[in-house]
Amino acid sequence: GRRFSFTALVVVGDGRGTVGIGYGKAKEVPAAIQKGMEDARKNMVAIPMAGTTLIHKVIGTQGASRVLLKPAAPGTGVIVGGAVRQVLEAAGIRDVLAKSLGSPTHLNVAKATMNGLLSQMRPEIIAAMRGKRPEDIAPPGLLAAYRSAELRKAGGSG
């Protein structure tokens, strides 16, 4: 007859800008979750953030899935559902507007979200590429939020 197996998509994060996704597959559910947890811990990466939101609007893609992520004002909350919400909340992003487009496959949507988060560029890098100062290309509030988030990260890990 049939040979059943279970899969688990697992998201882990510290709520302070580090997140990872993992995929586990096994004959029993707990074993699949355990494998997913191990995979997610191995894949943890730091996400650039501006306070509790994103630095700029970004679209992440994976396969036929696309995820649109837009920064939001403090107090907005995480306006999105499914795998995108889990990844953003695990990363510690509290204010964001997002929309999942294309294929609804959970694994691809989660990976597209990660790709979008990782494709963000810090204001200093964009300014250097354009030969300008960060103050010329980003609003002062965004720069202040980004710098405070960087200081919090440096203080928390040091």
**Beta strand pairing status for 45-46 and 18-26?**
antiparallel
- Dihedral sign, Cα of residue 121, residue 126, residue 128, residue 134: negative
pLDDT band for position 150 (cuts 50, 70, 90) = confident
The 10 Å Cβ neighbour count of residue 35 is 18
Q: What's the pTM value of the predicted model, to 2 decimals?
A: 0.87
Closest CA to 60 of 126, 118, 123: 118
The model's pLDDT over 26-80, given as tens digits with 9 standing for 90+, comes to 999 999 999 999 999 999 999 988 888 998 999 999 999 999 999 998 899 999 9
Does the pLDDT at position 13 exceed 80?
yes
Domains located in the chain, CATH noted: 47-157 (3.30.230.10)
Closest CA to 23 of 62, 64, 73: 62
* pLDDT (0 to 100) of residue 156: 64
Strands 6-13 and 18-26, bridge-based pairing: antiparallel
Q: Which two tokens stand for residue 116?
A: 């979008």
